[in-house]
Amino acid sequence: IYDYGDTAGLTPLIKMYTVGHRYIPPPIHAGGLRYHGVAPTLAVLVKNKVVEPFAYHQTEVFKAAQIFAEVEGIVPAPEAAHAVKAAIDIALDAKKKREKTVILFNMSGHGLLDLSGYQDYLEGRLKDYEPEYINISYLPKI
The residue range of the domain holding 93 is 2-122
Predicted confidence at residue 99, as pLDDT, reads: 97
- The CATH number given to whatever domain includes residue 100 is 3.40.50.1100
Confirm whether 137 is domain-assigned. no
Distance separating alpha carbons of residues 29 and 21, to the nearest angstrom: 20
The total of structural domains in the chain comes to 1
Confirm whether 134 is domain-assigned. no
Confirm whether 77 is domain-assigned. yes
Confirm whether 96 is domain-assigned. yes
Question: Average pLDDT for consecutive 10-residue bins of the chain (142 residues)?
Answer: 88 88 77 76 92 91 97 93 96 98 90 87 92 80 82
Q: What is the model's pTM? A: 0.82
| Burial bucket for residue 87 (CB in 10 Å: 0-12, 13-18, 19+) | middle
Distance separating alpha carbons of residues 81 and 108, to the nearest angstrom: 9
Confirm whether 141 is domain-assigned. no
Predicted confidence at residue 32, as pLDDT, reads: 63
